[in-house]
Amino acid sequence: MEKLKMQTPDLAGENFRKLAAMFPNAVTETITGYDENGIAIIERAIDADVLRQEISAQVVEGAQERYQFTWPDKKKSVVLANAPIAKTLRLDRGKSVGRDGTPGEIDSENIYIEGDNLDALKLLQETYLGKVKMIYIDPPYNTGSDFIYEDDFSQEAGGYLENSGQYDEEGNRLVQNLESNGRFHTDWLNMLYPRLRIAKDLLSDDGVIFISIDNCEFDNLTKICNEIFGAGNFIDCITWNTRVPKNDNRGLGNIHQYILVYTKNKKSDRQFTMQKDGLDDVFDFLGKLKKQGVPIPNAEAELKKFYHKKGYDRGITLYNALDNNYQPWGKINMSWPNSDTFGPTYDVLHPATGKPTKRPDRGWRWNQETFNGHLDYEHVIQRYDGSYICGDIWFAKDENTQPSSIKYLKDVGKMLLRTVISLKSDGGVELENIFGEKSYFSNPKPTALIELLLNSIDEDNAIFMDFFSGSATTAHAIMNLNAINRGSRKYIMVQLPEKTKDTDAAFKAGYKNICEIGEERIRRAGKKIKEESSMTTEDLDIGFRVFHVDSSNMQDVYYRPADFNQGQIELFADNIKPDRTPEDLLFQVMLDLGILLSSEIEETEIAGKKVFSVAGGYLLACFDSDVTEETVTEIAKRQPYYAVFRDSSMASDSVIVNFEQIFETYSPRTQRKVL
């Protein structure tokens, strides 16, 4: 029976919870008074200065010092994360690949974006808000030789709006961050902080982010992640045994890196699992024993020797008994698991002697009704060692031994993802095999590592993202998993087109930047996967749509009319840049309206005008000139959710006058938009 609260709601507490959920970085601790002994009373609070900064496009000065993690320019990195940009994504058909591998097709649901990942994240943040199930990134580790993104903190938001993402004369925005730099940690934090803030918004409520890092910035990364995602959403830190010692000149051979794991919302109660190491080898081994007809007692002995030789953990070695079909099973203790409480006590009769068996000291794990449901006294099997199988309960020769439940290895093939991972895969060798034994990329992650992380969340039909894509290991891993379990995972890769050096093997082979290496890796890997498993990969999507970050399709006057006089404005009667195509306009419209870039796109002709149909007619867009009432009427009759035209495209004043009436007649619910 629920009690009445008999008081008005705690609105202050509710408001605090709402603000804390929206702005976890504003949660702090402050002194609210002192008790009778003079001890300070500390309570959680909302940092008003941080809150003011979140809704301000300018740096808020005069903040009071509090318990918080800060660094020079932190406020400006907040401004950078929140500042708008006048940019768009433009499709590159020439680099795109269809879902079956056909060059130039755009029917794939995978996305590859060339450009500054901060710009790309901003362009995606409305369309993909809450839609990404998992993000994996392998950012620069800040080892003193890494290159990091150089964001211009000398500009205010307005300057950033115009100039962000413009490459220098070298064609990139990366700078080497040497340890001699007085802003060594500051520059790295300012680079990563705004990108993680936006990335958080892209995650679904039950989404998760994995971030690779080494010990150089591990502590600082943990602090900014606690601030951005909330310390309560920290899951754990995975230690990856790389197996290859790194000489750090400190007297130790470093063979590990870290992977921080955070969820968007801890209330999602997500489980992270992994297949037990060696499972396939075990079943292959038993298959050979069965084929040879090895007697069950001998087969069990051989299985135990096999376990000992391989050194498997208890998650596998527990399952060392075999049924008549050579399926391994193990005995599970039926004692009450909690040492502080007691379970139920009752008699369980032995199937052969009929006497009560030994009870666990703390009672049974199951209640009597559940236990009885697992027993089958009508069909009892006696094993070669004198023990008995009754239903799915194991009994010893007599009643003096506590019975156990039976679990088959095939039914418990997964376990919780371990916080220590050791893999035999080598990402460098793997990449060289794809490129004909050529080394084009330094220290790529192995696909086995990414597959392990991807598979841990048990989502085979979701969107995954990597905005430090590098050699595109994540895309390769996703295709591998989809081929294995016929999943339909989709990916979004983002990579700055960092130029290769003219002395590099990649440059000499014709790869002018990292994006070209990553894109070619996806093409080759997809083709190889198809060739090796042609029977099971017929519908596998090995393609991707390539976009690059570019300036807006709109003339500057569209965004800053105050900067132009009337005479100049007349020169821009058409506010679209002259080098932009209808397809360019379509994808900017899709971004503005929140329509996924991977949506199906069809081109059709209505009354002589090209019309784009997106997502099965959800959006109909016509950017041709001289659009007649016939075209408008036919589009309205198809009743799209959105209908988009150029504001200068109508053939006559009468079409403009009748436009609204046509839609009111045929499709009043359609949202009408113009460029």
Show the domains of the chain with their CATH numbers. 11-68 (no CATH), 110-272+417-549 (3.40.50.150), 279-416 (no CATH), 568-674 (no CATH)
The kind and range of the H/E element at 331 are strand 328-332
CA distance 491 to 476: 10
User: In which band, very low, low, confident or very high, does the pLDDT at 556 lie, cut at 50, 70 and 90?
Assistant: low
Nearest to 620 by CA among 641, 595, 599, 600: 641
CA distance 492 to 134: 11
> To the nearest whole number, what is the mean pLDDT of the chain?
88
The kind and range of the H/E element at 219 are helix 218-225
Please compute, for residue 73, the number of CA atoms within 13 A of its CA located in the half-sphere on the CB side: 21
Structure confidence at residue 2 (pLDDT): 47
Specify whether the CB–CB gap between 360 and 345 falls below 8 A.
no
Task: Kindly tell me the sign of the dihedral angle through the C-alpha atoms of 274, 280, 281, 283.
Answer: positive
Q: Is 624 helix (H, G, I), strand (E, B) or coil?
A: coil
User: In which band, very low, low, confident or very high, does the pLDDT at 575 lie, cut at 50, 70 and 90?
Assistant: confident
**What are 312-344's pLDDT values in tens digits?**
888 899 999 999 999 999 999 999 998 889 999
* Tokens coding 464: 């995954």
Q: What is the arithmetic mean of pLDDT over 564-583?
A: 64
CA distance 260 to 237: 5
What residue type is 231 in one-letter code?
A
pLDDT, greater one: 41 or 668: 668
Q: Would you list the DSSP string of 271-322?
A: --EEEPTTHHHHHHHHHHHHHHT--HHHHHHHHHHHHHHHT--HHHHT--EE
CA distance 249 to 226: 31
Q: Where are the alpha helices (DSSP H) in 413-553?
A: 427-434, 447-456, 473-485, 505-508, 514-532
CA distance 326 to 296: 7
Give the Cβ contact number of residue 235 at 10 Å: 18
- Which residue carries 């998650």 as its tokens? 315
Packed helices 279-292 and 296-310: angle between N→C axes, nearest 10 degrees: 150
Query: What is the percentage of the chain residues whose pLDDT exceeds 90?
Result: 63
Structure confidence at residue 67 (pLDDT): 75
pLDDT, greater one: 251 or 405: 405
CA distance 264 to 246: 33
- Which residue carries 């900067």 as its tokens? 563
CA distance 621 to 194: 34
Q: What is the arithmetic mean of pLDDT over 103-124?
A: 96
Residues in the chain: 675
CA distance 631 to 662: 11
Task: Kindly tell me the sign of the dihedral angle through the C-alpha atoms of 212, 216, 220, 222.
Answer: positive
Structure confidence at residue 1 (pLDDT): 35
- Which residue carries 């989404």 as its tokens? 207
CA distance 456 to 450: 10
Structure confidence at residue 573 (pLDDT): 44
Q: Is 199 helix (H, G, I), strand (E, B) or coil?
A: helix
CA distance 468 to 137: 6
Structure confidence at residue 60 (pLDDT): 78
pLDDT, greater one: 94 or 572: 94
Nearest to 518 by CA among 463, 455, 474, 488: 474
Per-residue DSSP letter, 353: T
Per-residue DSSP letter, 530: H
pLDDT, greater one: 671 or 41: 671
CA distance 301 to 296: 9
Structure confidence at residue 22 (pLDDT): 86
Report whether pLDDT(501) > 70. yes
Structure confidence at residue 369 (pLDDT): 96
CA distance 299 to 306: 10
User: In which band, very low, low, confident or very high, does the pLDDT at 49 lie, cut at 50, 70 and 90?
Assistant: confident
Specify whether the CB–CB gap between 220 and 185 falls below 8 A.
yes
Specify whether the CB–CB gap between 467 and 199 falls below 8 A.
yes
CA distance 171 to 498: 7
Q: Is 576 helix (H, G, I), strand (E, B) or coil?
A: strand
Per-residue DSSP letter, 420: E
Structure confidence at residue 36 (pLDDT): 76
Structure confidence at residue 25 (pLDDT): 85
User: In which band, very low, low, confident or very high, does the pLDDT at 599 lie, cut at 50, 70 and 90?
Assistant: very high
pLDDT, greater one: 246 or 173: 246
**What are 153-165's pLDDT values in tens digits?**
555 444 544 444 4
Report whether pLDDT(451) > 80. yes
Structure confidence at residue 144 (pLDDT): 72
Report whether pLDDT(171) > 50. no
Q: Where are the alpha helices (DSSP H) in 378-498?
A: 427-434, 447-456, 473-485
User: In which band, very low, low, confident or very high, does the pLDDT at 417 lie, cut at 50, 70 and 90?
Assistant: very high
pLDDT, greater one: 200 or 414: 200
Per-residue DSSP letter, 461: S
Q: Is 547 helix (H, G, I), strand (E, B) or coil?
A: strand
Report CA Rg, the chain. Answer: 31
Structure confidence at residue 180 (pLDDT): 67
User: In which band, very low, low, confident or very high, does the pLDDT at 572 lie, cut at 50, 70 and 90?
Assistant: very low
* Tokens coding 20: 């804390």
What residue type is 223 in one-letter code?
K
Specify whether the CB–CB gap between 671 and 641 falls below 8 A.
yes
Specify whether the CB–CB gap between 384 and 403 falls below 8 A.
no
* Tokens coding 308: 């000992």
Report whether pLDDT(662) > 90. yes
Strand-pairing partners, residue 407, are 330
Strand-pairing partners, residue 393, are 390, 405
Report whether pLDDT(169) > 50. no
